[in-house]
Amino acid sequence: MGVWTVTEDKVRQYLNAVGDEQPAYFDLAMAPPLALSAWSLGALLNQLALPPGAIHSLQELETFRGVKFDEEIHASAQVTKPRQRGNMKFLSVGYTLTDSGGEQVQCGKSTVLVVDSVKEESSGMNSAQPPSTKGGDSGNRGDQFGSIPRVSRTISQERLNAYAQASGDANPLHLDAGFAANTPFRGIIAHGMLTLAFIGEMMMAELGRAWLETGAIKARFKGAAYLGDDVESWGRKTGDNDSRVEYSVGLWNPASGQELIIGSATARAALT
C-alpha cells in the first residue's frame, strides 16, 4: 500500500490541521496513533478509486508500540468483498503497519459507506441524543462523565482544507460545495477521521504516553459535522485493571444534541 517516513514536519502538519496543541508529541518525538491511521486511509483512498461521495462508517485501530519521528513505516492492506444491505454498500479494508524491520506497530480496519448509492435517512448518519443523565445538557457533562478532559472544535472550511492536505483525503464531499450540495448531506461535511482525531486528542490528554504506545479505539460514525458546527468530545472510564484501562467515548454537537461518534477506547495502564 505504501512506505513513508514519519517526520516531525509531517506530524506537525497533521496536528495543526486537527488543532491539537499538546507538546507531549514533540517531547516524546512520537506520532499520534490516529495520524498513522489517517495517512494509511489517505493512501488507500488514492489506490481504491472509491466513488467521491464515499464516507466513513466504522473505524478500528490498535497500537502495539509508539512510532518515533524519522521512522520508516510500511503499510499493507486487505480489502474485503463489498457488502450490500438494501441500497447501502459497505467496503471494509484492514491495514497493517510495520517498521523497517518488519515489527508490527499498528493494525486497523476502516469501513466505508458509498453515500451516493443511499438515501439520507438510511445512510446510518442519523440523529441521536448523546448519553446523559436526566435532563443532561452541555453544562453538566463533566459531572456525568468524570474528569476526563473534553475537546471542543468549530468545523471550518480552512480546517477541512488543511486536513485534506495533511491526510491525503481529498474527497470532494469535504471540499467542494457544488458536489456536496448534490449528495444526501446537501452540503459539505467534515472528514470522519478529522472528527475522530478530537477523541484521540482527548485520550492523549487523559493517558499521555500510554495512549501513544498502546492506545486502541473502536468507533462508529453516527452523524455528520457541517461547516460552522461546534462539536465536543466526551469520555467516561468504564474499566480499570492491572493491564488495561477502558473508556466509553464519543463526539456530539451540543447545539443540536446529535451524537456524531460513539465508541470505546483502551490503553495499557499508565506508563511511567
| Predicted local distance difference test score (pLDDT) of residue 250 | 97
Give how many domains the chain has, as a whole number: 1
Task: Tell me, yes or no, whether 120 lies in a domain.
Answer: no
Task: Tell me, yes or no, whether 99 lies in a domain.
Answer: yes
| Predicted local distance difference test score (pLDDT) of residue 121 | 39
Domain range for 136: 2-115+126-268
Task: Tell me, yes or no, whether 121 lies in a domain.
Answer: no
Cβ atoms of 97 and 106 closer than 8 Å: yes
Cβ atoms of 123 and 184 closer than 8 Å: yes
CATH number of the structural domain spanning residue 245: 3.10.129.10
Task: Tell me, yes or no, whether 53 lies in a domain.
Answer: yes
Task: Tell me, yes or no, whether 175 lies in a domain.
Answer: yes
Question: For residue 219, what are the CA distances in angstroms to 26, 62, 104, 134, 255?
Answer: 27, 12, 22, 25, 22
Half-sphere exposure of 30 (CA within 13 A, CB side): 21
Residues in Cβ contact with 92 at an 8 Å cutoff, skipping those fewer than 6 apart: 58, 79, 80, 83, 109, 110, 111, 112
Alpha-carbon 101 to chain mean position: 27
Task: Tell me, yes or no, whether 77 lies in a domain.
Answer: yes
Task: Tell me, yes or no, whether 37 lies in a domain.
Answer: yes
Q: What is the pLDDT along the chain (272 residues), one digit of tens a residue?
A: 789 999 999 999 999 999 999 999 999 999 999 999 999 888 777 676 666 777 888 999 999 999 999 999 999 988 877 777 776 778 888 999 999 999 999 999 998 887 544 344 334 444 333 333 333 344 444 445 556 889 999 999 999 999 999 999 999 999 999 999 998 899 999 999 999 999 999 999 999 999 999 999 999 999 999 999 999 999 999 998 878 999 999 999 999 999 999 999 999 976 54
Task: Tell me, yes or no, whether 102 lies in a domain.
Answer: yes
- CA gap 208, 172 in Å, rounded: 34
Amino acid identity at 55: I
| Predicted local distance difference test score (pLDDT) of residue 271 | 57
Alpha-carbon 170 to chain mean position: 16
